[in-house]
Amino acid sequence: MNSETSSITLEHQFGVTDEQIKEAAELLRQGKLVAFPTETVYGVGANALDSLAVLRIFEAKGRPRSSPLIVHVSSIAMARDLAAEWPDTAQLLAERFWPGPLTLVVKKRTIIPDIVTAGLPTVGLRMPAHPVALALLQAAGIPLAAPSANRFTQLSPTTADHVRHGLGRRLHYVLDGGPCQVGIESTVLSVVEPPFAIFRPGGISRTQIEEVVGPVVLHDETTAAAHPSPGMHPQHYSPKTPLVLVSGGAVPRQGKGVYLQLRSEPLHQATVVQMPADPREYATRLYAVLHEVDDAGYDWIAVEAPEETPEWEGVLDRLRRASAR
């Protein structure tokens, strides 16, 4: 696909013009912050090789320096240029799942500033699948550090309106590419050394990964020091309205609430939102539904807990952190 055809496709499918991509890319090269869509959630991006630009991300989000940022790349070749070591496993997984919602943690080159990686010698790299994100990366010609475009611990955005509502004038530009299709953040997998560890479950399931590289472990320990991955803070992805995980329809008795139902009807009065039974469809809808009900004036949000299977791990991780207080 040539660049002219690509820009026509972007405008037709997503309403994003070539001029908008060029303007956003120039702002990024100047050290400014640009929000853009990926297939998972909207990210707030900055030049990953510019410490001052990356600092603006932490300030805009109110994010602690102990939480590292994922670096987005436009190709496997760009990823290899940022890695001090690129294991065969990383190549295998990138060829299988990139572009897509899998972040690979590898040893970093020193050109990546410590502020990106919370001072750790490793970095998470990902090639997003959204055509707008890839066009932006290619136009900018630089890797982009880009966490979710929301205030720290709050709900991740899956539309440009969510971004504007959450970060508002803290950004220099917002590329509106429509709603995100995966709906939860990427899976973060360390391939630095065996046993390979999932630091954050997400858009690629453990089952899918194990089909390629064999058994992997789930790593969910956190410390007060640098976290090995984003998304490991105990409270995260949280609506302003208190959220509780329930089973068997056992919603709170007091106050006015909404119930995100999977199988069981609520035992007490609540507004019911029927959620999809398929884990991928559920993930796609989750943040959008939570944003909607969070603005509706309820006293609580009760969510029927999904099954504890590998396919539901990403959704369960988000719900458990969202319910933490």
pLDDT for 129 beyond 60: yes
The whole-chain average pLDDT of the chain stands at: 93
Q: pLDDT tens-digit profile of 162-216?
A: 999 999 889 999 999 999 999 999 999 999 999 999 999 999 999 999 999 999 9
Q: Report pTM.
A: 0.93
Range of weakest confidence among 5-14, 247-256, 299-308? 5-14
Q: pLDDT tens-digit profile of 149-170?
A: 999 989 999 999 999 999 988 9
Q: Write a three-state SS string for 200-246.
A: ECCCCCHHHHHHHHCCCEECCCCCCCCCCCCCCCCCCCECCCCEEEE
Domains and CATH numbers, the chain: 3-218 (3.90.870.10), 243-323 (no CATH)
Q: Which of 141, 167, 163, 160 is nearest to 14 (CA)?
A: 160
